[in-house]
């Protein structure tokens, strides 16, 4: 019998039905913010995200949380535009409490682009910086996130037709990427941004509140820092590069299904299939 997990089992966040989506503007803080994981994407954030949830930090916010609750993308776009593009009012603690009110921890983008704001909003939270060699990080980014951000990616073609997720997500990711890089190419400034993030975290966080941590270290130092028991099982090891590609493909497939459900009654079967084939073959 095959033990291969289904897409739904591997990526449950992609299958959250619209009926479960909530309005972030109506949230309030329900649990204290305890941990800020401010290492950049591709530094082991998926493994750390999984580990924190297993340690009982409910919940841990991650870029994937937006896939689970797409309305969050609207509020993130507002935060990004205020910080990077001079549009609107910069977020204050009450805004972060609404957006992140269900969470005891955060990691990954776009949270990491607001390190200064989150450190200020939650001065009692412990901070984790996930360590990775900058060249290794750069190469991983070039193979995963950077191609998705290039003009003409499949996500850009399906975005206008997918009101559930990608119309919102695309607005957020483009505003965030261009703002974080100041309109420059990642190839030219990516390593500089990595170093700037590291220096910012070290400058703002007292040593007793900061753990510089490499995911491959396992549980011991992490649990000691967080003052929680060490699990008896192995630390989660997520192959982020492989998982990233698979998740994007599944997300695109589900978006195509949503689009076809709208298009089919209007265009008829033959035309809908043609549109689907055209979109599928766009790279």
Altogether, the residues listed in the chain come to a count of 283
* Chain centre to alpha carbon of residue 57: 17
**Residue 135, Cβ density class (10 Å: 0-12 exposed, 13-18 middle, ≥19 buried):** exposed
Mean pLDDT of 46-58: 94
pLDDT at res. 265: 67
Contacts of 187 (CB under 8 A, 6+ apart): 142, 146
Q: Specify the residue for token string 């993130």.
A: 76
Whether residue 283 is predicted with pLDDT greater than 50 in this model: the reply is no
Return d(Cα 269, Cα 274) in angstroms, integer: 9
Whether residue 216 is predicted with pLDDT greater than 70 in this model: the reply is yes
- Percentage of residues of the chain with pLDDT beyond 70: 92
Return d(Cα 151, Cα 147) in angstroms, integer: 9
Give residue 212's region: left, alpha or beta (phi > 0; psi -120 to 50). beta
pLDDT at res. 269: 56
Q: Where residue 2 falls among pLDDT bands split at 50, 70, 90?
A: very low
Q: Which domains does the chain have, with CATH numbers?
A: 10-152+172-241 (3.40.50.300)
């Amino acid at each position: 019998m095959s033990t291969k997990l289904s897409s739904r089992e591997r990526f449950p966040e992609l299958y959250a039905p619209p009926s479960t989506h909530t309005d972030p503007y109506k949230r309030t803080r329900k649990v204290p913010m305890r941990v800020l994981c401010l290492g950049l994407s591709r530094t082991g954030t998926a493994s750390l995200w999984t580990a924190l949830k297993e340690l009982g930090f409910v919940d841990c916010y991650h870029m994937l949380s937006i896939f689970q609750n797409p309305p969050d993308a609207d509020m993130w776009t507002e935060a990004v535009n205020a910080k990077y593009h001079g549009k609107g009012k910069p977020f204050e603690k009450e805004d972060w409490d609404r957006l992140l009110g269900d969470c005891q921890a955060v990691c990954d983008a776009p949270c990491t682009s607001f390190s200064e704001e989150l450190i200020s909003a939650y001065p009692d939270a412990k901070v984790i910086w996930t360590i990775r060699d900058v060249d290794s990080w750069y190469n991983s980014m070039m193979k995963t996130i950077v191609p998705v951000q290039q003009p003409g990616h499949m996500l850009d073609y399906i975005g206008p037709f997918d009101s559930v997720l990608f119309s919102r997500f695309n607005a957020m990711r483009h505003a965030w990427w261009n703002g974080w890089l100041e309109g420059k190419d990642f190839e030219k400034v990516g390593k500089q941004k990595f170093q700037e993030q590291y220096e910012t975290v070290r400058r703002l966080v007292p040593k007793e509140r900061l753990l510089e941590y490499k995911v491959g270290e396992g549980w011991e130092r992490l649990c000691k820092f967080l003052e929680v028991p060490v699990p008896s099982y192995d630390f989660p090891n997520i192959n982020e590069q492989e998982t990233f590609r698979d998740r994007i493909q599944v997300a695109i497939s589900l978006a195509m299904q949503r689009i076809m459900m709208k298009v089919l009654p209007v265009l008829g079967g033959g035309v809908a299939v043609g549109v689907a084939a055209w979109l599928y073959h766009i790279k």
